Structure 1
Amino acid sequence: MFTITDRFNAISNAYDIHSFSELRHEIFINRLKWPLACPAGRELDQFDDQDAVYLTTMNSRGQVVAGARLLNTAKRSLLGEAFPMLVNGVIPKDPRVIDVTRFAVDHRSERTEGCGNLCGMLLCALQEYGLREGLDKYVSVSDVRMEPILRRGGYRFKRLGDMVEMDGTGVVALDVEISEEVLASARRRAKVTEEMLPLEVIRRAA
């Protein structure tokens, strides 16, 4: 099960955000060596503001082991502000188009033992969220190595522009479909048979 954290419950879920920032530091700073300025042991940036929405899940010890940050493109987005060169055409700016950022899955076996297919579960959670919120689609700035992962996860997507090499890595902007068909495919691939999000009504961040 994933937790949804937004402006309405950010205080009560402060630990979730803190633990997610530690996971982000492990993956993006320690493992992938992104040259980012951030607090010791945590990865945070200017997009971690009151409008950000987080989907996170924990292991049995209360450590976040998978998650993603969602940004409303009508307000601001990583794609629009930091990577507009990846889009051929108009930068998406619509409340029904969400920028998926900081997609993170823990790679440390001592933390993920017994957690199941975390990547597949996160992909299912994103589709559930998009459908419940009535979103049109997701966009994302992605390392090209994410494309085969998304395909294996049952996702359908297209590039919004040409690949650009950054720090020796190919980077692309993706337009990602949200649909019942993709959710069904993601669940089948991940062998997920239950809802990944709480059943209560999702609050749309204003």
Structure 2
Amino acid sequence: MLTTITRTGKNLAGLRRTLGEYRYKVFIDQLGWQLPTTDGMEQDQFDQDDTLYVIGVEERGAVVACARLLPTNHPYLLSEVFPFLMEPAVPPRSDRIWELSRFSVSRVGESDRAIIDVEKATRTMLAAAVVAAEEQGAERLITVSPLGIERLLSRMGVHAHRAGQPQRVFGRPIFACWIEIDEQTKRSLLLAQDPLHLTMG
């Protein structure tokens, strides 16, 4: 069973190191991304006190999933690092549009012993991210994702579409993707039938 925890950066407390180490193992050790690190943790300039995080924890307390949410009326990953993914359009800047980044559902380290249904956990995490963003006034999400995410979102029935053409970065195809926070997305994530109620600190 996966439990989602939603916190702002200033209220991560003891989860800050656990989350940073989890992200290091996923994005650097497993995926080989070239990202900033601090003392064995993956974190960058967008990890701030007001950044919103959704963390997935399995029954024994191991972190097995994460997501990061940033309002686009402040600097965010797409606008500052990957603006070319939206050409000829420009990255959005609106408190009604939030960026979803650092999304992962993966068992690492000690959590290798955790038994989770990855597809179900992915749906649970995306649903929690949608709820958290909508509670902040978001109407759409924008992401920078590997191309394979497009197929996953389509299979799940999420209302998602390209914000630009895929491009190769460090040899891997990535693209900017819109995720609409609408009835189609909510139905696909089972939010219409079973809404999530999250507590944020």
Q: Which residue does 1:81 correspond to in 2?
A: 80
Q: Match for 1:186 among 177, 181, 189?
A: 189
Deviation string, structure 1 residues 97-140 (Cα, Å, up to 9, x no partner):
10111001123573431577211111111222233333120001
Native 8 Å contact 1:131 1:178 kept in 2:
yes
Native 8 Å contact 1:68 1:100 kept in 2:
yes
Identity over aligned residues, as a percent?
29
Deviation string, structure 1 residues 53-72 (Cα, Å, up to 9, x no partner):
10112122222211101111
* Closer, same or farther: CA 187–100 of 1 in aligned 2, 3 Å: same
Q: Which residue does 2:153 correspond to in 1?
A: 150
Distance 1:100 1:149 in 2: 15
Native 8 Å contact 2:139 2:181 kept in 1:
yes
Deviation at 1:155, TM superposition (A): 1.2
Q: Which residue does 1:128 correspond to in 2?
A: 131
| 2:16 equivalent to 1:21 | no
Native 8 Å contact 2:57 2:65 kept in 1:
yes
DSSP 3-state at the match of 1:14: coil
* Closer, same or farther: CA 114–170 of 1 in aligned 2, 3 Å: closer
Distance 2:164 2:75 in 1: 19
| 2:42 equivalent to 1:39 | no
Native 8 Å contact 2:69 2:98 kept in 1:
yes
* Closer, same or farther: CA 61–99 of 1 in aligned 2, 3 Å: same
Native 8 Å contact 2:69 2:133 kept in 1:
no
Q: Which residue does 2:114 correspond to in 1?
A: 112
Distance 1:27 1:60 in 2: 20
Distance 1:101 1:60 in 2: 25
* Closer, same or farther: CA 101–114 of 1 in aligned 2, 3 Å: closer
Greater CA drift, 173-182 or 135-144: 173-182
Q: Which amino acid aligns with 2:52?
A: V
| 2:94 equivalent to 1:91 | no
How many residues in Structure 1 have an aligned counterpart in Structure 2?
195
DSSP 3-state at the match of 2:26: helix
Native 8 Å contact 2:157 2:184 kept in 1:
no
Pick the structure with more strand per residue.
2
What are the ranges of 5 or more consecutive residues in structure 2 without an aligned counterpart? none
What are the ranges of 5 or more consecutive residues in structure 1 without an aligned counterpart? none
Deviation at 1:165, TM superposition (A): 0.4
Distance 1:26 1:50 in 2: 23
Q: Match for 2:5 among 3, 18, 27?
A: 3
TM-score, length basis structure 1: 0.84
